[in-house]
Structure 1
Amino acid sequence: MSLETDFSPNIFPKARQPSTRALGLGIHRTGHVALRAPDPSAAAEFAVSQLGFTLAGHDDEGRYYLSAAGPDPYSLVYTPGQGGLDHISYIVADHAALDEAAARLADANIPVTRHEPSLWSPGASLRFSTPAGHTLELTTGLITDVPIAATTLRPASASGPIVCDHVVVRCSDLQAEMAFASRTLGLMESARIETPDATPVMTFFRASRLYHCLAVAQSPSNGLHHVQFTLKDGAAVFEAWEKMRSESRVELLWGPVRHGPGHNIACYFRDHVGHVIEYSAEEEVIFDDEAYSPMRWSVEDPRSLDEWGTRPPESML
């Protein structure tokens, strides 16, 4: 994916017609993300000592569970593997909603694997794949209409993560992944970045009021782009960046920035394995789905990347 172009002051984001939400699968928000790691123990130790997570525990299969400061039992999981995305877990209201989602997936001829409750997964869950092969999980958990970071006390270390709010994935067939997100998952489009001929490059989807729980980006191959965790506020993002810059072994990539889509203040860096991680805050909240019109940002507008004018390294594009 490349967003390189020159800026014209006459280019502004345009609004589309309000989107109509499909029946979908009843997704409310992101619960956690699981990443593969050759050494999950070392990856977990790095997340605790360098990134502000807390070790919740590990299981007999070698998975390490890391909690943030929010109400979820864990927000990040490292599972044995050679790197990349293992799965994204989304929250639905209850077991009835889970059963209904399973029925809708079956009606759409999408294979589903069911998992019964266990020590580290106290609620039943089901898993399935997107057209690009990204594994998604649905399970039960806390449902709230208010962004979790807004109702969570400031962590003892303000630079610590509170909750996983979104994941961005790479897709070789962006149109297929976009259609799946809207028609099957039932997510609503918040914005897209597109070329001058209106070809989408990146599209942002939300499940509720928070600007996005998933974004899909055009790429030559399928895979993970980055995982995001929310901090308390913009000041915490700057504090986290300065702390990592001056005190830690973290490879910093880009930031702090303020994105155009979502308007969140963010910074980017790598975890122990090399996955790109985003810490951000102050993400846009959409209160009226019927009145909101998804925005179209041009790749020729650098504010689609950073309203403050910086650019990411090529390795992130």
Structure 2
Amino acid sequence: MSWGLISEMGHVSIQTRNLEASVFDATQLLGLRETARNGGTAYLAAGRVHHELVYVESDLDALDGFGLIARDGDALLELRRRVDEEGFTIVSDRPRFDATEDGFSFIGPEDFVFDIALGVQHDRPAAGGFGPDRYGHINFHPRDVGGMMRFLRRVLDFRLSDTIGDDFAYFMRCNSDHHGIALIRGEGTLHHHAWQAQSVADLAKLGDRLHLAGRELIWGPVRHGAGHNIAAYFVEASGAVVELYTDLEQIYDDNRPPIEWGPDDNWWNMWSSYRPLEFRQHGIAPVPAARLK
């Protein structure tokens, strides 16, 4: 259910120095399926769409962009009007990736690229296998976290679900999911992309697959306070973090006021106050604008 101009999270695209390692992590560890390969671009999905994750072969590991789905054609036009009015640089007047009916891309605050799409092609998942149900949300760390929050509200019509501390973190939604975008003050990087599983047992099975591959979880399972989801995390080949989660809070009242957490409240884990110090050190910076596809 969506109340605004963006109906759902679309995809995350990542430039990677090792395309095959990135695809291995997505398919053999997380459980996505590769839906298409076009030259050095690999498309992957969990749900019934052509892509929710895109890897672009490159000579650097970097965030390529965030994909968002416009509610309809009128919403797409209004979003373009707002972006133009704000003076943001347009990267492309058409979709940058395959299997998308319409859309445009622009460079937002702090060089984060946003791909606004309409009409992403459907795809039928193969029967059996393992993996999450769908792509859920992103967490990134802008330097001006308050400015990014205001941009998401003003231009992209996101709602505010939770706030953490004094201009430290914001959790924002575009539909009933508690958050599609989480912002934590940082160094201008993508921290993680997150995928919805059916139960906490799926998080345990992810830990088993990582162990067999000689890898490990870097945190979790934990029960977050903000969003209420149970989550586990690992680092993928590009250096970005991947979250598998379940039991995310759903918000059906668009007028629900944001929940305010103090900086020392256990918003990060309701089960323990422990936080691994290195957890937030992972992540990848946006690709330089001149390098965009």
**Deviation (angstroms), 1:118:** 8.0
Measured in 2, the distance between the counterparts of 1:244 and 1:141 equals: 35
2:10 matched to 1:38? no
SS at match of 1:306: coil
Q: Hey, what does 2:51 align to over in structure 1?
A: 74
Q: Which of the residues 238, 255, 268 maps onto 1:305?
A: 268
Answering whether residue 174 of structure 2 is matched by residue 207 of structure 1, we say yes
Partner residue in 2 for 1:103: 81
Counting only pairs closer than 5 Å after superposition, residues 122-271 of structure 1 correspond to structure 2 as 122-141=100-119, 156-158=128-130, 160-194=131-165, 199-219=166-186, 221-245=187-211, 247-271=212-236
Change (3 A) 1:266 1:119: closer
- Aligned equivalents of 2:162, 2:254: Cα separation in 1: 13
Q: Which residue of 2 aligns with 1:146?
A: none
**Cα gap change, 1:237/1:46 in structure 2, threshold over 3 Å: closer, same or farther?**
closer
- C-alpha distance 309-118 of structure 1, shift in aligned 2 (>3 A): closer
Tell me the equivalent position of 2:278: 315
Rg larger in 1 or in 2? 1
Q: TM-score, normalised by structure 1?
A: 0.80
Secondary structure at the residue paired with 1:252?
Answer: coil
- The 8 Å contact of residues 253 and 312 in structure 1, kept in 2 or not, is answered as no
CA gap 1:183/1:119 in 2 versus in 1, 3 angstroms: closer
2:220 is paired with a residue whose SS is: strand
Give 1:157 deviation, angstroms: 4.3
User: Hey, which bits of structure 1, 4+ residues long, moved more than 6 A?
Assistant: none
Aligned mates of 2:169, 2:87 — CA distance in 1: 27
Change (3 A) 1:237 1:125: same
Gaps of 5+ in 2: 281-293
Shift in alpha-carbon separation, 1:212–1:137, aligned structure 2, 3 A: same
Aligned length: 275
Superposition TM-score, scaled by structure 2 size: 0.86
Tell me by how many angstroms 1:156 deviates.
3.3
Q: Deviations over 1:181-239 (max 9, x none)?
A: 11111110000111xxxx121100000111011111111x2111111111122332233
Higher relative contact order (CA 8 A, sep 6+): 1
Deviation at 1:119, TM superposition (A): 7.7
In 2, Cα distance between equivalents of 1:265 and 1:118: 33
Which secondary structure state, in structure 2, belongs to the residue aligned with residue 178 of structure 1? helix
**AA in 2 matched with 1:209:** S
**Which AA in structure 1 matches 2:128?**
A
Cross-structure match for 1:296: 260
Contact 1:72 1:163 (8 Å CA) reproduced: no
| Unaligned segments of structure 1, at least 5 residues | 1-20, 143-151
For the Cα contact (< 8 Å) 1:205–1:215, is it kept in 2?
A: yes
Return the alpha-carbon distance in structure 2 between the equivalents of residues 249 and 273 of structure 1.
17
